[in-house]
């Protein structure tokens, strides 16, 4: 046997021994940990799986909820993911400047959203159909007259512009303060004037109503935003040494996690319990129309692989919750309301659906005795909803 072959065989033996020892160590580690795990369930159904470790003074946890996109139905797809975002917005005591005024502002915001949602679903299709009919009437004219009417109608895209008919003329007036300034005038034939009259009667009021509802919704969001203490929940965690704050939503589970110094156990219990018992869905529309919508575009609409996966899911899972992606359909994201989110929370965010898996590292670690963790009153830090 050559020296080279002897060396090769020796290396193989060493590697095999190394892998065997590593596998044995891993198995032993798992068995050791299994005996250290403590489990208990509170009266409200919240189940704890606790591993006490003393190697570093850090308290880490995972809060896992038995809810994900597979629990959604058509019309509310993406709501599990939206609710994950909402869990960082705070509670009655965290994240707001005046909860009473904020709740009133949110009620106005909800009403404005309902009105704007109706505008998108009812008024917008009417405008689209009327625009198609208008385009047919205009395209029946000679090319040079089409340009004239196109100029008239394009001027009305400005909400401060008003059309004034004067015999055979149409004047484009622009609001300047309380006055109106004539910008341009067009000489029209009788047929062209009929087209403009039809536009003013059939389309312009709808467009003005749509714009008014959209602006009212934006104003309502701005009013509610005045009472928000932005990112206060995360700031409290960071100021107390918390790291790794994150969350994720899947088809079957939603997860929340971060780590604290072990002497912040009581603060963790307060923060986590409060947001799981009663989060305030503040900045709901700002969040879903902003970061959530952008995430949908990035992951699916503007991503060929994402679009392929969505089509694949649609075809493979036609009769259950796996039919759609975790991010949800854009039409559902646009139209799902805060009330929908609140009802979804009440249905799925309750004690029986919660498992908390902390790894604690000090004498203040969660004891195996449930009474230490049981809520002291119906309004305490963890309750069934």
| pLDDT tens-digit readout, 179-195 | 666 667 778 888 988 89
pLDDT of residue 331: 94
The mean pLDDT of 166-171, rounded to a whole number, is 71
Residue 83's pLDDT is 96
Is 6's pLDDT higher than 70? no
Residue 254 near residue 311 (C-beta atoms within 8 A): no
Distance (Å, whole) CA 127 – CA 321? 34
Domain spans of the chain, in order of start: 37-98+229-368, 115-224
In total, the chain counts a number of residues equal to: 385
Tens-digit pLDDT profile for residues 58-99: 889 999 999 999 999 999 999 999 999 999 999 999 999 999
Average pLDDT over the chain, rounded to whole? 84
Question: DSSP letter string over 81-139?
Answer: HHHHHHTTS--SSSSBS-HHHHHHHHHHHHHHHHHHHHIIIIIHHHHHHHHHHHHHHHH
DSSP 335-365: H--HHHHHHHHHHHSSGGGEEEEEEE-STTS
Distance CA 187, CA 300 (A): 49
Residue 319's pLDDT is what?
84
How large is the average pLDDT for residues 211-217? 97
- Encoded tokens for 11: 């290396």
CATH superfamily of 37-98+229-368: Metalloenzyme, LuxS/M16 peptidase-like (3.30.830.10)
Between CA 281 and CA 336 the distance in angstroms is: 13
Per-residue confidence (pLDDT) for residue 279, from 0 to 100: 94
Structure tokens at 359: 């790894």
Closest CA to 261 of 244, 237, 241, 236: 241
Task: Kindly report, residue by residue over 312-339, the tens digit of the pLDDT.
Answer: 999 999 888 899 999 999 999 999 999 9
pLDDT of residue 380: 35
% of the chain at pLDDT higher than 70:
80
CA–CA separation, 13 vs 246, rounded Å?
A: 44
User: Residue 20: what pLDDT?
Assistant: 54
Strand order in the sheet with 179-187: 161-166, 169-176, 179-187
Beta strands at 254-261 and 58-65: parallel, antiparallel or unpaired:
antiparallel
pTM to 2 decimal places: 0.79
Q: Which pLDDT score, from 0 to 100, does residue 308 have?
A: 93
Say if residue 248's pLDDT is above 80: yes
Helix (H, G, I), strand (E, B) or coil at 170: strand
């Amino acid at each position: 046997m050559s020296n080279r072959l002897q060396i090769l065989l020796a290396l193989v033996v060493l590697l095999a021994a190394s892998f065997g020892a590593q596998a044995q160590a891993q198995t032993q580690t798992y068995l050791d940990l299994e005996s250290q795990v403590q489990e208990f369930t509170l009266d409200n159904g919240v189940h704890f799986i606790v591993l006490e470790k003393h190697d570093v003074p850090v308290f880490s946890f995972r809060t896992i909820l038995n809810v994900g996109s597979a629990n959604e139905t058509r019309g509310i797809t993406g709501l599990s993911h939206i609710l994950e975002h909402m869990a960082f917005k705070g509670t009655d005591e965290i994240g707001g400047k005046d909860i009473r005024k904020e709740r009133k502002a949110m009620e106005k915001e909800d009403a404005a959203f309902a009105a704007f949602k109706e505008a998108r679903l009812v008024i917008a299709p009417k405008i689209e159909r009327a625009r198609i009919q208008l385009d047919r009437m205009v395209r029946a004219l000679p090319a040079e007259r089409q340009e004239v009417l196109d100029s008239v109608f394009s001027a009305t895209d400005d909400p401060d512009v008003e059309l004034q008919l004067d015999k055979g003329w149409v004047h484009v007036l622009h609001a300047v303060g309380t006055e109106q300034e004539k910008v341009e005038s067009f000489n029209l034939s009788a047929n062209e004037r009929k087209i403009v009259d039809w536009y003013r009667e059939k389309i312009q009021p709808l467009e003005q109503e749509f714009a008014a509802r959209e602006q009212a919704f934006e104003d309502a969001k701005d009013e509610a935003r005045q009472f928000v203490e932005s990112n206060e929940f995360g700031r409290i965690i960071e100021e107390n040494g918390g790291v790794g704050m994150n969350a994720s939503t899947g088809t079957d589970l939603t997860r929340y996690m971060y780590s604290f110094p072990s002497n912040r156990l009581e603060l963790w219990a307060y923060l986590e319990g409060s947001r799981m018992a009663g989060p305030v869905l503040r900045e709901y529309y700002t969040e879903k129309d902003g970061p959530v919508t952008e995430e949908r575009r990035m992951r699916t609409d503007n991503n060929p692989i994402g679009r392929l996966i969505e089509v694949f899911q649609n075809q493979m899972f036609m009769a259950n919750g796996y039919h759609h992606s975790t991010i949800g359909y854009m039409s559902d994201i646009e139209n799902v309301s805060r009330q929908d989110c609140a009802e979804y929370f009440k249905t799925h965010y309750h004690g029986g659906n919660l498992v908390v898996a902390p790894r604690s590292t000090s004498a203040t670690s969660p004891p195996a005795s449930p009474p230490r963790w049981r809520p002291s009153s119906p309004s305490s830090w963890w309750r069934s909803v």
